[in-house]
Copies of this chain bind each other. A is one copy, B any other.
Amino acid sequence: MAATARRPDRGEARAALLTAGLRLFADQGYAATTTRQIAAEAGVSHALLRYHFSSKAGLREAVDEDVLGSFARSFATAREEGAGRGTLAEAGRAAALVFGADRGRRRYLRRVLVDGDERAAQLLGRLVRGAGRELDRLTADTGALPAESRRWAAYQVLFLVLGPLLLEPALEVVLGADPFEPATLADRSAANQHLLQHGLLPPHDD
């Protein structure tokens, strides 16, 4: 047992702080969370946070990297899996997989998007570009989108996907159920596909 585990709990406390920070930042927001709360949930002294992460902001950076990195990996694998297929159903299933995966990380993502600093803008920019590329793939065979749809198409798709994520806590109450529970998610995803293909309302003058 040379370097396998120098200490029985090597890195354990650090990971616990990271997990606690993730949960509390996601549920309450960064400003409303105290370092003592985090330490208490991790079961360590609040001074340890400073040792491992320098400061509260340092912990946030570490959590950011962890969560945003894990989402980037999810996207990458989802894209690889569905590569070449390029059907709407496939894209919907990939999106559901990515965003439905982990409640904690999903909620953290929501906080990042909503707290509205430059991290949010950066993330949103990546999401918009990703949605745009996906739309390009989907329309590769049938020709590009008409001009009047082109400008907002990626945003519209994104709003449909991100809406439940952004409103999750309130939506959970209104629905009376977890909006990302698999059956609900599949149902909503199907409805989104239907909307994107056929619209919602029958054509109508004016």
A156 to B163: give the CA distance in the assembly, Å: 8
With A113-B167, A166-B166: A201-B152 Cβ-Cβ less than 8 Å: no
Q: Which residues of chain A from 169 to 202 have any CB-CB distance to chain B below 8 Å in the complex? A: 169-171, 173-174, 187-188, 190-192, 194-202
How far does the Cβ of A36 sit from chain B's closest Cβ, in whole Å? Answer: 15
A53 interface residue per 8 A CB criterion:
no
Q: How many residues of A contact B (CB 8 A)?
A: 62
A4 interface residue per 8 A CB criterion:
no
How far does the Cβ of A24 sit from chain B's closest Cβ, in whole Å? Answer: 12
How far does the Cβ of A135 sit from chain B's closest Cβ, in whole Å? Answer: 8
Which residues from chain A sit less than 8 Å from chain B, CB to CB? Answer: 28-29, 31-32, 87-89, 113-114, 116-118, 120-121, 123-125, 128, 135, 138-139, 142, 145, 148-149, 151-153, 155-160, 162-164, 166-171, 173-174, 187-188, 190-192, 194-204, 206
